[in-house]
Amino acid sequence: PAPRTVLLTGAAGGLGTLMRERLPGYGYELRLLDLLPIEGEPDAITADLADTDALRAAVRGVDAIIHFAGISLESTFEKILRANIQGTYNLYEAARAEGVRRIVFASSNHAVGFTPRPTGDDPLIPIDTPRRPDTYYGLSKGFGEDLASLYWDLHGIETVSIRIGSCFPEPTSVRMLSVWMSPDDGARLLHAALTAEDVRHTVVHGSSANTRLWWDLSSARALGYEPQDDSEPYAAKLIAEQGELEPGNPAHAHLGGPFCTTPPIWPH
Interface with ligand 15L by CB under 6 A: which range of 3-11, 38-46, 108-116, 195-203? 108-116
Q: Which 3-state string (H, E, C) describes 201-223?
A: EEEEEECCCCCCCCECCHHHHCC
Alpha-carbon distance of 268 to 265, in angstroms, equals 6
The answer to whether residue 137 is catalytic is: yes
Count CB atoms within 10 A of the CB of residue 131: 15
The set of residues, in sequence order, having a beta carbon less than 8 Å from that of 199 and lying 6+ positions away, is 102, 158, 159, 160, 193, 223
- Using DSSP's 3-state secondary structure scheme, residue 198 falls into coil
Told to check if 10 binds ligand NAI by CB under 6 A, we report yes
* Smallest separation (angstroms) from ligand 15L to the CB of 268: 5
Question: What is the identity of the amino acid at 139?
Answer: L
* Smallest separation (angstroms) from ligand NAI to the CB of 106: 3
- As separate numbers, helices (DSSP H) first and strands (DSSP E) second, the chain gives 9, 7
β-sheet with 201-206: strand ranges across: 45-46, 29-34, 5-9, 64-67, 102-108, 158-164, 201-206
Q: What residues numbered 154-183 form the site for ligand 15L, per CB under 6 A?
A: 166
The one of ligand 15L, ligand NAI, none whose footprint includes residue 58, by CB under 5 to 8 A per kind, is none
Catalytic residue among 28, 92, 136, 137: 137
Interface with ligand NAI by CB under 6 A: which range of 22-30, 91-99, 147-155, 159-167? 159-167
Told to check if 106 binds ligand NAI by CB under 6 A, we report yes
Is the CB of 73 or the CB of 240 nearer to ligand NAI?
A: 73
Q: Spell out, one character per residue from 36 to 75, where the chain touches ligand 15L: x when CB under 6 A holds, - when not.
A: ------------------------------------xx--
Of 34, 145, 229, 230, which lies in the binding site for ligand NAI, with binding defined by CB under 6 A? 34
CA 48 to the chain's CA centroid: 19
Q: How many CA atoms lie within 13 A of 59 on its CB side?
A: 25
Whether a cis peptide bond, with omega within 30° of 0, leads into 263 is: yes
Is the CB of 110 or the CB of 212 nearer to ligand 15L?
A: 110
Of 84, 88, 90, 109, which lies in the binding site for ligand 15L, with binding defined by CB under 6 A? 109
Told to check if 108 binds ligand 15L by CB under 6 A, we report yes
Is the CB of 9 or the CB of 157 nearer to ligand 15L?
A: 9
Name the residues annotated as catalytic.
Answer: 137
Site for ligand 15L, rule CB under 6 A: 72-73, 108-110, 166, 268
